[in-house]
């Protein structure tokens, strides 16, 4: 799979160069907020596990005032009050919007409710960050992308790879002669969990555990795979056209229908393949993406990244300054955002890994786009495309066969 090339001279200037070029690798520092600009008042809708993580990240992002929280579940709303005592609380989205308490809304409700919640927030004139996948149907994805296109507010899809500093840096390498032709791809998400939130109330249990409802859930491929598929779309500028999949319940034999283990192959139009596996029965190696090129492989693990050069790959000069890490028989060059500046200070190894989660950088990017009037790293159109791939992969796993990817016209 070929990607738009970056010539060697441009790459050396943009990505690695010598120690004298202090700012040529993407920095962890974001653009300065305009002086005198009031904080963005943000409200979070949906206070489950992801919503609580969002509350924690927003509380440490510059230029954010966590102004409101909203959830229809009283227990979750009360629990959130202990995390953000100064934020107003609402059990109704309409009440929160009518109260004029917020300038921007983060949508962290169940996936199948994203369209309704995000659309109402957009139509009220607020900036919106919508968690990914942006919906559980193609129709809803297209509607959200259209709503985002028709507003002058900043509307971001919560696919975190595009705002991750290590991923941004690694993309520069992937699009250069350092990696050269990408010949195959692989990714996984392994996490030992049950996907069950307990409750003695039957109705509440059903609502809390919507991921296990075949009528509403897009399974592991949709809920998790969508985020990782988007990384491959971003790097290659292309989308798969066909998916072959298989899924089963291997661990949690409690009557559930939604698979706890899946494997699928996503095929691109030139024949290149992405192998994807996910399970909630095992946590080994967590989640990662790998690009295999004719000159090197790049492995990305959300907070870290490495390049593994082939023995016959040409030397480009920057390698002399690289930090290295051993993996069994292979030696990986650690991809460090802000590496040249750290090297000048003799602190290169201190820069291994990101100081914040990928969620932090995605929210920060959105807030900075609001302050500066720019575009978010991941648009709702790209969110719709990635969601469509996740939906197709889920369908392939459910049907145990091959499915064509229905790419939305957004």
- Give CATH 3.40.50.720 domain extents, the chain: 40-161
Residues 269/238, Cβ–Cβ less than 8 Å: yes
Residues 229/273, Cβ–Cβ less than 8 Å: no
Topology at the third CATH level for domain 40-161:
Rossmann fold (3.40.50)
- 258, with CB counted inside 10 A (0-12, 13-18, 19+), is buried
Residues 130/104, Cβ–Cβ less than 8 Å: no
Least confident of 122-126, 200-204, 221-225, 314-318: 314-318
Q: Selecting from 3.30.360.10, 3.40.50.300, 3.40.50.1220, 3.40.50.2300, what CATH number does the domain 8-26+167-352+386-404 have?
A: 3.30.360.10
pLDDT at res. 6? 47
In the numeric block, which tokens belong to residue 79? 């629990």
20-43 per-position pLDDT tens digit: 222 234 445 555 567 678 999 999
pLDDT at res. 315? 84
- 203, with CB counted inside 10 A (0-12, 13-18, 19+), is exposed
Coil vs helix vs strand at 167: helix
In the numeric block, which tokens belong to residue 55? 């509350």
Q: pTM value?
A: 0.91
DSSP secondary structure letters along 3-45: ---B-HHHHHHHT---TT-TTSSPPSPPPPPPTTPPPEEEEEE
Average pLDDT over residues 126-149: 98
Asked if residue 134 has pLDDT above 60, the reply is: yes
Rounded to whole angstroms, the Cα distance separating 16 from 94 reads: 50
- Asked, as a colleague might, if the bond just before 133 is cis with ω within 30 of 0, I would say yes
Residues 234/132, Cβ–Cβ less than 8 Å: no
- Give CATH 3.30.360.10 domain extents, the chain: 8-26+167-352+386-404
Residues 155/122, Cβ–Cβ less than 8 Å: yes
Write the CA distances from 86 to 69, 89, 103, integer angstroms.
Answer: 10, 9, 16
Helix, strand and coil in the chain, % to nearest 5 = 35, 20, 40
Write the CA distances from 264 to 155, 166, 188, 226, 403, integer angstroms.
Answer: 31, 26, 10, 13, 11
Which residues lie below 8 Å from residue 30, measured CB to CB, with a gap of 6+?
364, 365, 368
Rounded to whole angstroms, the Cα distance separating 302 from 170 reads: 11
pLDDT at res. 1? 72
DSSP secondary structure code for residue 392 in this structure: H
Rounded to whole angstroms, the Cα distance separating 194 from 258 reads: 11
329-376 per-position pLDDT tens digit: 899 999 987 655 545 545 445 557 899 999 999 999 999 999 999 999
């Amino acid at each position: 799979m070929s990607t738009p090339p970056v010539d060697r001279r441009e790459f050396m200037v943009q990505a690695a160069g010598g120690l004298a070029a202090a700012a040529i690798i993407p920095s962890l520092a974001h653009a300065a907020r305009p002086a005198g600009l009031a904080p963005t008042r943000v409200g979070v809708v949906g206070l489950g596990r992801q919503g609580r993580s969002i509350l924690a990240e927003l509380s440490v992002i510059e230029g954010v005032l966590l102004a409101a929280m909203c959830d229809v579940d009283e227990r979750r709303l009360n629990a959130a009050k202990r995390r953000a005592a100064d934020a107003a609380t609402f059990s109704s989205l309409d009440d929160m919007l009518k109260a004029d308490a917020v300038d921007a809304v983060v949508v962290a409700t169940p996936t199948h409710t994203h369209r309704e919640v995000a659309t109402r927030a957009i139509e009220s004139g607020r900036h919106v960050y919508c968690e990914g996948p942006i919906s559980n149907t193609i129709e809803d994805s297209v509607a959200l992308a259209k709503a985002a296109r028709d507003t002058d507010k900043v509307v971001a899809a919560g696919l975190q790879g595009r705002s991750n500093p290590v991923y941004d840096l690694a993309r520069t390498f992937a699009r250069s002669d350092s990696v050269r032709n990408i010949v195959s791809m692989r990714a996984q998400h392994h996490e030992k969990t049950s996907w069950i939130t307990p409750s003695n109330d039957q109705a509440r249990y059903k609502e809390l555990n919507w991921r296990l409802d075949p009528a509403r859930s897009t399974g592991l491929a949709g809920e998790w795979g969508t985020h990782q598929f988007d990384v491959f779309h971003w790097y290659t500028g292309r989308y798969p056209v066909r998916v072959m999949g298989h899924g089963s319940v291997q661990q949690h034999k409690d009557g559930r229908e939604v698979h706890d283990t899946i494997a699928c192959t996503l095929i691109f139009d030139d024949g290149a393949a992405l192998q994807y596996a996910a399970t909630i029965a095992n946590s080994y190696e967590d989640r990662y993406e790998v690009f295999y090129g004719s000159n090197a492989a790049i492995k990305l693990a959300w907070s870290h990244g490495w390049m593994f050069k082939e023995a016959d790959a040409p030397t480009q000069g920057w390698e002399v300054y690289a930090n290295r890490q051993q993996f069994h028989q292979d030696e990986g060059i650690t991809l460090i955002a802000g590496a040249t500046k750290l090297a000048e200070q003799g602190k290169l190894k201190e820069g291994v890994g990101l100081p914040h989660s990928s969620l932090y950088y995605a929210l920060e990017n959105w807030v900075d786009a609001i302050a500066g009037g720019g575009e978010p790293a991941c648009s709702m159109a790209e969110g719709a495309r990635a969601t469509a791939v996740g939906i197709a992969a889920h369908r392939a796993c459910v049907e145990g066969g091959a499915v064509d990817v229905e790419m939305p016209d957004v």
